Amino acid sequence: MGSRYEKDKTKVRKEKLAGCFYNLSQLIFTGTGVGGVLPFLHGTASSGDISVLVFGAVATAGSAYFANRILKY
């Protein structure tokens, strides 16, 4: 009976940790999306704004990938 309890506990722990990384991915996407796209709309974009967008895309994909890996194993 203890083994099943441990499996359930591990499953819940993994789901919550993966959910945390998915939420982090959403926050990064929102923050860098607004911060990086807004200067393009105003016409005052610079290389720093492009780097924000690139960093946001990489960090978002990395966080989502890591969350997916947690759920797989």
Looking up tokens 């947690």 gives 70
CA–CA–CA angle 15, 58, 43 (5° rounding): 130
The pLDDT value recorded for residue 21 is: 95
Residue 23 neighbours by CB distance under 10 Å: 12
The pLDDT value recorded for residue 1 is: 59
pLDDT, mean of each 10-residue run, the chain (73 residues):
85 94 95 85 86 92 95 87
